Chain A
Amino acid sequence: MVSEATNTLKKSVFWDWMTTVDHKKIAILYLLAGTLFFLKAGLMAVIFRIQLIAPEMEFISGQTFNEFITMHGTLMLFLAVTPIFFAFMNFVVPLQIGARDVAFPFVNALGFWLFFLGGLLLSLSWFFGGAPDAGWTSYVPLASREFGGVGIDFYVLGLQISGFGTLVSGINFIVTIINMRAPGMTMMRLPLFCWTTLLTSILIVFAFTPLAAGLALLMLDRIFDAQFFIPGEGGNVVIWQHIFWIFGHPEVYILVLPAFGMISEVIPAFSKKRLFGYTSMVFAVLIIAFLSFMVWMHHMFTVGIGPIANSIFAISTMTIAVPTGIKIFNWLFTMWGGKLTFNTAMIFAASFVPTFVLGGVTGVMLAMAPVDHLYHDTYFVVAHFHYIIVGGIVLGIFAALFYWYPKMFGHKLNETLGMIMFWLFYIGFHLTFFIQHILGLVGMPRRVYTYLEGQGMDTMNFISTIGAFLMAVAVIILIINIVYSALKSEPVTVDDPWDARTLEWATHTPVPEYNFAQTPQVRSLDPVFYEKIHGNGKMKPAEPLDDIHMPSGSILPFFISLGLFIAGFGFISFHLDLFISPYVLIAIGGIVTFGSMGLRSMQTDHGYHISKETVEEMEKELS
C-alpha cells in the first residue's frame, strides 16, 4: 500500500480511492477487483468439477452446470485475467518507461470503473432469473431471443460496458508508451513487458471493436427484434461465429502476450543476465500479434466452410508456432549459463516455459484441420486451452505477483508459503488438465454436465477433480500468504530488493505519488543494471528538480460508469418484470452518464503542483 508519507493531498481513505487517478492506486483497484472475479470463477470451477467427480452425479443440475461453465469462462477471460494484467501494466509500465503517470489519468480511472461496473452488471444476472448459459462464446441460435434466457442479456450488456473500459484503457496505454518515454528510452530499449503491453493494447483496439459491434448486433436482435442472426428472417447464424472469433482469437493473444512480457522480466532478473535475443523477442511478439488476426477460422473448422478455407487457416495457424518457438528458445538461452536464483517468482517463471510448450504442441495438433474433426468439442480442446491459460498465463501472473509485490505493497510475500503454493498448484494443475487430453481422445464431450458409467472415464474424471482441489488449496494458501505477509513480513526499504535490471527498481519503495523526482536519463537497455555497472548505481537525472505538475482526482469516472450501468440494466429490464419502467432506468442512466461527461467538459481543471520543497522533503524521508 502506498504509505501516507507519499500522499501530498489529505483526503479520507474512501474518497481518495473513489476519486483516484493515480496509476499506482488504479493498479491496486484493478488487482483487487480482478482477484475477486478470479476467486468467484475459480469457485465455480471447483463446484462443477465436483459434479463431474463420478458418473451421473447430481450435485448441481444441468442448467446450473451450463450457467457455471459460461460464467467461469466469461469471468476468467474478461473480468479476472484482463484486469489483473491491467493492474500490473498500470503499475509497472509508467515506472518502466520513466513517466510520472499514464497519458490520460482520467481515462485510466474511467477504464477501471467501466470494467468494474460492467462486471457487476454481468454478475447481477444471478439474482434475476439465472446467469447466461450459452457458453462463453454465446453462439446463436442458442443465444438468440428465441432460445436464450434473460441471462444472455446480462452477458451482452455487461460485456459491452466492461469492453468499453478495456478499450479506453488500451488506447491509454498505446499513447502512454508512444509519447511518455523518458529521454533516451528508445523503442528498442523498451523493456519487453512494455513492448507486450503496447502490442496487447493495439490488439485490444483492433479486436474489441468487432466484439462491441457483434454484441450490439446481438443486443438489437434480442431486445429490439432485429434479425441479423435469425435464418428464418433472412439472417445468418455463422456471421456471429465469424465476428466472435475475429475478436476471440486476438483475445487469446491479448491474454498471453502480457504473460510473455512478465516472464521476460522475471527470468533475466533472476538469471543475472540480459534477455537473450532482445531484438528477436520484439519481432517475435510483433509477428504473433499480426498473425493472431489471420487465424480466426481455425475455431470454425467443423462449420463447413470448405477444404480451401480450412487449409489456408490451418497453415496460418501453424505459422504462429515459429515466433513462439523463438521466444521459448530465447527464455531457455537467457537461463543458460546464468547465475540462477530459484525463488518463488523465478520457479513460476521457469515452470511456465515447459508447460507453455505442452499447450503449444496441442495447439499445433488442433490446427490440423482434418484431425480437428476428432478433437472438436471434446476435453482435448479444454485441456489445450487450459494449458495455455493456466499453465501459461496464470503461472505468469503468479510470477509477476511475487516479483513486483515488494514494489507495489512495500513488503515481500513469504517464500516458504510461496514454495508450498507453487508445488501444490503445479502438481494440481497437471493432475487436472493432463488427463483431460486423454479424456478428450476417448471421446468425452465438453460442456456436458454428466457422463455414464463404464465408458472408461470414471477414474480419469476422479483424478482431474482431485487436481482441481489441489489448485484450490494452492490459491487459499496464496491468500493466507498475502494476509500473513501483510502482518509479519519485514518492510522493504531499499529501492531494489531483487537486484534487478529495469527502471521501475530505480524508484523508492513505497513509490512516491510523482514516481520520479527528476525524470531519469536512460543510457541503455536494462538502465538500472547499466548504472550499477558503469555509474554509481543511481539513475542520472534528465532535468533539474522543480515543482511537479499532478492531475487532480475526480469522482466523475465513477458516475459516468454508474450511469452506463443503470442504463444497461434498463435495457435488460425489457425482459424483466420490474416495478419500474425500462425507459425510466435508461433515462436516469443516460442523464447521469452524459451529465457527468458534460460536467467534465465544462469544468476547467489544470491539476495541482507539488512544490519543490515538498518533493525534496519526501525524497529525503524515503531514501
Chain B
Amino acid sequence: MAENLDQSFEESSMSNEEKRKINREQRIQIIAFAFMIGITILAFLAVGSEQLPGVFTIPFILFLAFVQLILQLYYFMHLKDKDHGWPNSFMISGLVLAAPMVVSLILLIGIVKY
C-alpha cells in the first residue's frame, strides 16, 4: 500500500454527488472567509473612527468577535458537519468551563487586586 502513495490517478474516483458536495463546501468556505474579513474591517473601523463612543465600540467589537468565533469553529473547523458530536461537546464544555474562570479572574484580580 505504502509504495503506491506517490502515484497519481488518471481521474478522480469521486462520484458526481461527492464533487457537488465538495464544490458547495468550497463556496461556503470562501463566503465565510470574505464575511470574516468584512467584519474584521468593520471592527478596525469602529475602533479607528473618532466619532463612535467607547460604550458602543467595546460591546460591538466583542459581539463581532463572538460571531467570528462561531464562524471559525463551525465553518472552518467543520463543527457543523455530521459526526462532530464529540468535538462539539468538548469545545462547548471547554468554553463553559473557561468562561466563568476568565470572568471571575477579571472581576477579582482586575478590580479588588486579589
Q: Which residues of A contact B (CB under 8 A)?
A: 178, 202, 206, 236, 238-239, 242, 246, 290, 293-294, 297, 303-306, 309, 604, 606
Known contacts A238-B109, A306-B114; 20 further A-B pairs (Cβ under 8 A)? A178-B86, A202-B93, A206-B93, A206-B97, A236-B113, A238-B113, A238-B114, A239-B109, A242-B105, A242-B108, A242-B109, A293-B97, A294-B100, A297-B104, A303-B114, A305-B112, A305-B114, A306-B112, A309-B108, A606-B1
- Interface of B, helix, strand, loop or mixed by DSSP: helix
22 example contacts (A-B, Cβ-Cβ < 8 A) are as follows A206-B93, A236-B113, A238-B114, A239-B109, A242-B105, A242-B108, A242-B109, A246-B101, A290-B93, A293-B97, A293-B101, A294-B100, A303-B114, A304-B114, A305-B114, A306-B112, A306-B114, A309-B104, A309-B108, A604-B2, A606-B1, A606-B2
- Interface of A, helix, strand, loop or mixed by DSSP: helix
Closest to A241 in B: B114
Task: List the 5 closest A-B pairs by CB distance, nearest first.
Answer: A305-B114, A293-B97, A238-B114, A178-B86, A305-B108
A103 to B34, CA, bound (A): 38
Closest to B86 in A: A178
Closest to A296 in B: B101
Q: Could you mark each residue 31-71 of chain B with 1 if its beta carbon is under 8 Å from any beta carbon of chain A, else 0? A: 00000000000000000000000000000000000000000
A309 to B86, CA, bound (A): 33
Q: Which residues of B contact A (CB under 8 A)?
A: 1-2, 86, 90, 93-94, 97, 100-101, 104-105, 108-109, 112-114
A309 to B109, CA, bound (A): 12
A120 to B71, CA, bound (A): 45
**Complex contacts, B90 vs chain A, CB 8 Å:** 202
Q: How far is the CB of B4 from chain A (nearest CB, A)?
A: 13
A246 to B94, CA, bound (A): 14
Closest to B107 in A: A309
Q: How far is the CB of A316 from chain B (nearest CB, A)?
A: 10
Closest to A237 in B: B114
**Complex contacts, B109 vs chain A, CB 8 Å:** 236, 238-239, 242
A309 to B101, CA, bound (A): 12
A178 to B77, CA, bound (A): 20
Q: How far is the CB of A443 from chain B (nearest CB, A)?
A: 26
Of the listed residues B2, B93, B108, B109, the one surrounded by the most CB atoms of chain A closer than 10 A to its CB is B108
A490 to B76, CA, bound (A): 59
**Complex contacts, A309 vs chain B, CB 8 Å:** 104, 108
Closest to B113 in A: A236
Contact of A206 among B94, B112, B114 (CB under 8 A): B94
**Complex contacts, B108 vs chain A, CB 8 Å:** 242, 305, 309
A310 to B109, CA, bound (A): 15
**Complex contacts, B104 vs chain A, CB 8 Å:** 297, 309
A309 to B114, CA, bound (A): 11
Closest to B97 in A: A293
**Complex contacts, B93 vs chain A, CB 8 Å:** 202, 206, 290
Q: How far is the CB of B36 from chain A (nearest CB, A)?
A: 27
**Complex contacts, B97 vs chain A, CB 8 Å:** 206, 290, 293
**Complex contacts, B100 vs chain A, CB 8 Å:** 294
**Complex contacts, A238 vs chain B, CB 8 Å:** 109, 113-114
